[in-house]
Amino acid sequence: MEKITLKVEGMSCGHCKAAVEKALKDTGGVLAAEVDLDAKSVQVDYDRDRVDRAGLVKAIEDAGYDVQN
């Protein structure tokens, strides 16, 4: 299992938090996702054999949010 913290722009409320967490949790290989609205970030626990950073970023962007490098 790997952990990564991604900076996410555009999150401002509980709905945003839920949308990003759901998008990630629906991605194969993601074990957990927890958004920190104050830090504008999400911490993701994932199986690197099933998904990579690009896959996580795509899930967040598909949900309508921007990931900073």
Q: What digits encode the pLDDT tens for the residues 2-55? A: 999 999 999 999 999 999 999 999 999 999 999 999 999 999 999 999 999 999
- Residue 40 to residue 18: CA distance in whole angstroms: 13
pTM above 0.85, yes or no: yes
Which of 4, 16, 3, 15 shows the shortest CA–CA distance to 66?
16
**What is the CATH code of the structural domain delimited by 2-68?**
3.30.70.100
